Structures are given as C-alpha cells and as structure tokens.
Structure 1
C-alpha cells in the first residue's frame, strides 16, 4: 500500500535549520534577521521550528519560517532591514511603534526598522517573509522621488493583500517563490535576480502605503514635462534594454519623479515608461530570434532571459499578443524559411 508523500514546504531546498529547541531556533533565525526574544506561549508545547532562506541579488531575500505552537517574538528595533510578513495560514498579532494589526493570510504586516516591534504568532502560523535591506530601499525611494529622503521611511503596518493596487506585487512574490522552489531561472547575484530585486522594491514603494506615499504620488511635481524628457527616457531605455532597469533607474537618468515621468509618458506617448520598456524588449527579442537562423543560434529561453523576461509562460503570452505568433514559431520560420 502506497503512503501519501509529505507535502513540500515553501523554499525547502534553501533550508537553514530545523529544530525542536527554542534556544537553537532563536539563535539560528537571528543569523538572518537580528537578535530577538523567543518564547512559546504554551511552555510545554513542542516546538517544530524551521527556517528556509533564499537570497535574490544583494538586498532582498525570501524566507519561510515556522515554529509550530504559538510564540512570542520580540526583536525590538530591526535597525537595518524591513520585513514584509505574510501568514500562509493562522494569524499573528503585530505591534510596531504606535500601530497594531492582526495579520492573516489576507492581511500581511510590514514593520519598519525604526519602530519598536513585538509579535505574537498563533499556533500553526507559518510565514513567508520578504527581507529588504533598509539602505537599498531608501536609495530606491530617493531615485523614485528624485529628492533626498530626510524622514525615516515608515510603512503602514497592515498590508491588505486583496487590494487590487497590490496585486502585481503579490503575484510577483508568489512567482519568485515558485521559481525558487523549482530551482531554475533565478540564481543569486545573476542579472535576472537583479531585475527581480529592483522590480520588487520599486513595486513595494509604489503600491504599499507609507509616510512618503503622497510625495511619491507626485503632489509636488504635477507640472507638465516637455516631450524632450520622454524622448530622453525612451533613448535611455532603448540603449540599456538588455540590462536590469527599473523605473527608479530611468527617473535617476532623466531627473524627475516616478509619478511625473509616468504622467508625461501617458500624455505624450500614450503608455507608461515600463510598458515602453517591455515593448522595446519584445522587439529586441523578436529581432534576435529572427537573426538566429543557424543551427547554433540562441534559443527562445536564452534570448528572453537576456532581456529580463523572468517567466517564460508570461513572456510567450505577451509575445503572441504583440506579434500574433509564438516566439518558437518566429524561430522556426527563420530556421526553416
């Protein structure tokens, strides 16, 4: 008689430890995050702790953490990193500074490092946690604002994952987890991982609420921009289409805020800057596939990844919508035409 296979935990191939000892679990988790207090809410409850951690490029990692029984976690001040914490089931009471939320699989928490943090995870409440380095996130914010950030960045503690504005971020995190679980496409430190990290940070800043959201939305820069700025942005993206580029990079190059540049593109080009970049990259992919007529020419996956298309299925759908054929058909036509 066959027995059912044990379901694989998220990010299991990146396992750091598993333990039934509170002290060992506390010390092991602290190596990735920070020193903290950890006690079980029911003293005689048996701990079932593990931590899986996968780094993307330099400043972001995806983590799976579970403890089994309910625990009290007291990190104090995180200092140099932010945490986007998503309960996969169960619940958690999170207090950070003057804010408090009861996190669930539909309401994540996003504690800020300059605010005092205390957490109480309920029984059987494993979390998917995105760790983001504070200096990198602040640098990304300054690039999007095109202005120095003089106040601490403090996010709204509750992050409603069913908010349509957050859907691209939520789906992208899920895609990253699935890709890392599969063990392909994303290698720590690779250009693809750099693309992913830049997009994730910019998406978080543009979609999650925080004390700089109003400035980021462009209240101070709703003035119309000349088409020259749009042309400069287009030329920059065309020249760097095969490199990791984010909206913040383009803003830094042309010297305006993200919101102002988006408004200028909508007004003068009829699309957003990232849409223009995607269309440019699709055109480049098609051109390279058409040039790959020889038997040793590059394949679809290789060319797509060169231009930052991380998910081959999504890329193929975008390519077909743009050109009316699958990328493999373009390649086949050129090789057999």
Structure 2
C-alpha cells in the first residue's frame, strides 16, 4: 500500500492547543500531567531544534492528541498503568519497545503501548504523531461486554500496528473521521455531543477487532456461538426503541441477554452486518424520515448530527448509496411538499 494514511491537516487538532515550549522541563511536566510521569532526555546536539507542541481534546474515556518535539528525544515512562496509547506517526519515525517487543514505527507502522508492560521510546528528529489515549478501565469493560465474561488477565495488544493491513487501515480511517469531527466542533471537547460515548465505543471496539491481542483467539474461535433468534429479536427491538438515544453496547447486550460477540455473529449471519452497523442503518432511516418532513429551520447537517452522524461527507455518501439521491435533494423535496401543503390549507381556509 503506497500510503496507509488518510488525509489529515498539516497540524491536526490545531484548534485545541494545550501548550508549546522550548523548555525541556516544562515539556516533561505538562506532557507528564496529561499522560503519566516519565523520563525525557534530549541529546546535547539536538537541543537547538527542541520545540514541543501538544494539541489535545478530550472525550468521555479517550482523548485525541497531536504531539511533536522537533528534535530527537528519548522517552521512558515505564508502566503507563491506567491507559493504552495508540501512536500514529505522521512524519518521521520512532524506535519503540513495549514489553519484550522492539520495532521501528513510521508512516506505515504505528504502535499500541500496553499499560501493563514497560515502555521505552526514541522519537527521531522531526517525528510528530497522532495519539489516542484510551482509559484502561473503560476498554476492559468494553471487552468484557464483547466476551460476556470477566477478563482474568490484562488485555495485551500486539504493540506493532501494521497500517497496511485492512483492519488497522480501516480503523485509521475511522480515527481520521473522529479527528475531523473534533476539528469541526461536532464531537469531543466542549461540543456536548449526545452521541459522544457511541463514537468512542465504536472506535475502541474497532481497534480490538482490528489488532491481534490476547483475546483474539476468543474472537476468532470456531466454537463461538451465534446469538439465539430470541436474543437477536430483543436486540433489534432495543435498537429501534432507543434509536433516538445514545445507548451503550452494555445496554444493548443486557437487553438482548447475551454477549456482544454472540450478537455480532448472529447479526452477521442474519443480516450480513454487525449490531453497530445495523444501528447506523436504523439511524440513517430516521434521518431519511426527518429530512422528508423537515421544518424550514432544519438543515441536512443539523438533522444528521442529531441522528448520530458527525462526518457529513461520509453521511452524504452512505445516504446516496442507500436512497439513490443526496440528502440535500430529499430535504428540498420535503420542504417543497410541506410548502405546497401549507399553501393548499391556506387557500382552503380563505374559501371558507
């Protein structure tokens, strides 16, 4: 794959600057408060080029970050303990050690730092990265919902994230849409977006399914059972009854009475989609209905956003594929029909 990365701004999340400094001690302190205390060393010859910039925007249980040091730096946080950190190099490269694995990261290879394993890194000259910090307790809870069982040992990912593979590449596209939604103030930060938890769960679960880990054998086991028809029926009812709400995967599995993994296999067999994809289609149908009967004050963007879609380009593309016309055309038709109906009522009132 020639270029594994979707297009991002030259400096992602520039609207959310956390700090910038040329002082090593300040950089160590502020980055340490955002992530965790760590050792930060800069070779003497690299000090003139040292210039840290950190952009940061938080969600409910994960945050999006863009970080660069300008110069070569050695970073030794030891154990991260409370969070996973996904690192996507946008420029330059880094030597990564997490546990017993050591490798080079670049634009084709990202990394996932496991909190239960010691980490050491050397970021090369000019290296800058997109970082996703995911709270360990929240991700562990999601995995338990997926498996329908408690995790007896920590979730450990293969730390080498090969962005040329289809799964990680698709995950990176999803991450890019989250960054773009944050930059457009439609999600994360102070947006107050009702579906914030939903998009974070989607991003986290997609990572678990895309990257080999200590639970991959459970997810790919031929012994994994599809949900019974009764469970699927309950899940479908729950989705349609709560389609206007930002429900969590835990709520869905409780209503269905089985694990998320069983639902995934069952939905894939019955409908050729996952429960999350089924919910997206149901939300798309809701958006279609609202576009047909929109008020004069409503727009495509406001309706899509209210129905759980943060990326307007992706929404418009999916809508066109399903309904054969862009959402703007449905909106125009709906408003025209509403205007005509209002005109007929007005004429009728005048005659009487």
Normalising to structure 1: TM-score of the pair?
Answer: 0.90
CA contact (8 A) 1:108 1:158 kept: yes
| Equivalent in the alignment of 1:207 | 210
Counterpart of 2:229 (choices 218, 227, 230) is 227
- Counterpart of 1:281 in structure 2 is 283
In structure 2, what is the Cα distance between the partners aligned to 1:278 and 1:45? 49
Structure 2: where are the runs of 5+ without partners?
1-8, 338-352
Determine the C-alpha separation between the residues in 2 that align with 1:330 and 1:226.
Answer: 38
User: 1:331 is matched with which residue?
Assistant: 331
2:71, 2:12 → 1: CA distance?
19
The question of whether the paired residues in 2 share the 8 Å contact of 1:216 and 1:258 is answered with no
Which residue does 1:4 correspond to in 2?
A: none
- Give CA-to-partner distance per residue, 1:295-324, whole Å, 9 cap, x none: 34x322122112211111211121122122
Q: CA RMSD in A?
A: 1.9
Q: Aligned to 2:207, what secondary structure does the other structure show?
A: helix
Question: Whole-Å Cα distance in 2 between the matches of residues 48 and 235 of structure 1?
Answer: 54
**Cα–Cα, structure 1 residues 314 and 44, in superposed 2: closer, same or farther, change >3 Å?**
closer
Task: Tell me how far 1:190 sits from its aligned partner.
Answer: 2.1
How far apart are residue 63 of structure 1 and its match? 0.8
Give the CA deviation at 1:95.
Answer: 0.9
The 1:27–1:140 alpha-carbon spacing in structure 2 relative to 1, beyond 3 Å, is: same
Residue 184, structure 1, aligned to residue 185, structure 2: yes
Moved over 6 A (4+): none
Task: Describe the SS at the equivalent of 1:120.
Answer: strand
| Matches for 1:1-337 after TM superposition, within 5 Å | 9-43=11-45, 45-46=47-48, 47-56=50-59, 58-181=60-183, 183-188=184-189, 189-222=192-225, 224-245=226-247, 247=249, 249-292=251-294, 294-296=295-297, 298-337=298-337
Provide closer, same or farther for how the CA distance between residues 335 and 214 of structure 1 changes in structure 2, counting only shifts above 3 A: same
Q: Unmatched 5+ residue regions in structure 1?
A: 1-6
Relative to structure 1, is the Cα distance of residues 114 and 299 closer, same or farther in structure 2, using a 3 angstrom cutoff?
Answer: same
- With normalisation by structure 2, the TM-score equals 0.87
Moved more, 37-46 or 228-237: 37-46
